[in-house]
């Protein structure tokens, strides 16, 4: 029996435009959890957010972190089991930084910043799973929701330059911490790496420049880490020559 994964869908050379869906799908592959991707783009989790899964028993579980924690516990911690408690604490702190702070700057530069919106709009058809004319109608509502979320979080109350500077501080911290390490902890990727590659991927992969992409591309170690993860876990999305690199 496999779990059913509800995400948005592949776009921009990534498995998903949401770093949370991207991270979770990477985890499923890392842990060898069998899954099928649901084709239903409308079904909602009780939280109203994606990703969510329907597990083997038909139970809906929402939130990438909770889903991963549940699967790790159930399957004997196949991915983070070797980390010390101190490493787990570090991993969690970085995930919180990416997912509760950097993520919101990413959202700002996609949905609110005028340059981002102009370039992001063509992808909304894939993201929302709606025909173009419906997307045109829905976009202002989606933007209002995002604006409210950013205001509620607090980041959206700052100037664009401050949002940019705050996010760049996160990116630099990640780059300095990763340094020349292949993976965040030890000789195998862990949940930290799934989250890092999802965030870096969402920043550098869109085919337009954002201040976050310009900064992130300066940190070759972050970009190489993302590329390593893609080659290892998403060979089907890489260029033909990269998918035969021998990593598995």
Ligand X SMILES: N[C@@H](CCC(=O)N[C@@H](CS)C(=O)NCC(=O)O)C(=O)O
Residues that bind ligand X in the complex, under the rule CB under 6 A:
18, 20, 48-51, 63-65
Q: Toward ligand X, which CB reaches closer, 64 or 164?
A: 64
From CA 237, how far away is CA 248, in angstroms rounded? 14
- Least distance from ligand X to the Cβ atom of residue 123, Å: 13
From CA 248, how far away is CA 234, in angstroms rounded? 10
What are the structure tokens assigned to 202, written together?
A: 């969402």
SS3 199: helix
SS3 102: helix
From CA 203, how far away is CA 196, in angstroms rounded? 11
Q: Toward ligand X, which CB reaches closer, 51 or 211?
A: 51
- Least distance from ligand X to the Cβ atom of residue 227, Å: 22
- Least distance from ligand X to the Cβ atom of residue 130, Å: 14
CA nearest neighbour of 128 among 13, 5, 4, 18: 18
Q: Toward ligand X, which CB reaches closer, 143 or 162?
A: 143
- Least distance from ligand X to the Cβ atom of residue 131, Å: 20
DSSP letter at 37? E
Q: Toward ligand X, which CB reaches closer, 45 or 237?
A: 45
């Amino acid at each position: 029996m496999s779990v059913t994964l509800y995400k948005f869908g592949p776009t921009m050379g990534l498995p998903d435009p949401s770093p949370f869906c991207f991270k979770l799908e990477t985890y499923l592959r890392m842990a060898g959890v069998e899954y099928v991707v649901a084709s239903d783009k409308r079904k909602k989790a009780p939280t109203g957010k994606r990703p969510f899964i329907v597990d083997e028993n038909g139970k809906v579980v929402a939130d990438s972190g909770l889903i991963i924690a549940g699967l790790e516990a159930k399957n004997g911690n196949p991915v983070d089991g070797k980390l010390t408690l101190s490493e787990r604490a570090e991993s969690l702190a970085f995930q919180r930084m990416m997912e509760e702070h950097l993520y919101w700057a990413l959202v700002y530069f996609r949905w609110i910043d005028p340059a981002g919106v102009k370039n992001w709009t063509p992808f909304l058809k894939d993201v929302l799973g709606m025909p173009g004319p419906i997307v045109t109608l829905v976009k202002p509502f989606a933007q209002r929701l995002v604006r409210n979320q950013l205001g509620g979080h607090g980041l959206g109350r700052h100037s664009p330059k401050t949002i940019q500077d705050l996010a760049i501080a996160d990116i630099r911290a990640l780059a300095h911490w990763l340094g020349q390490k292949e993976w965040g902890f030890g000789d195998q990727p862990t949940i930290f790496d799934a989250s890092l590659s999802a965030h870096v991927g969402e920043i550098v992969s869109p085919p337009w420049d954002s201040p976050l992409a310009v900064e992130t591309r300066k940190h070759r170690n972050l970009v190489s880490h993302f590329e390593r993860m893609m080659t290892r876990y998403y060979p089907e999305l890489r260029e033909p020559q990269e998918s035969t690199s021998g990593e598995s």
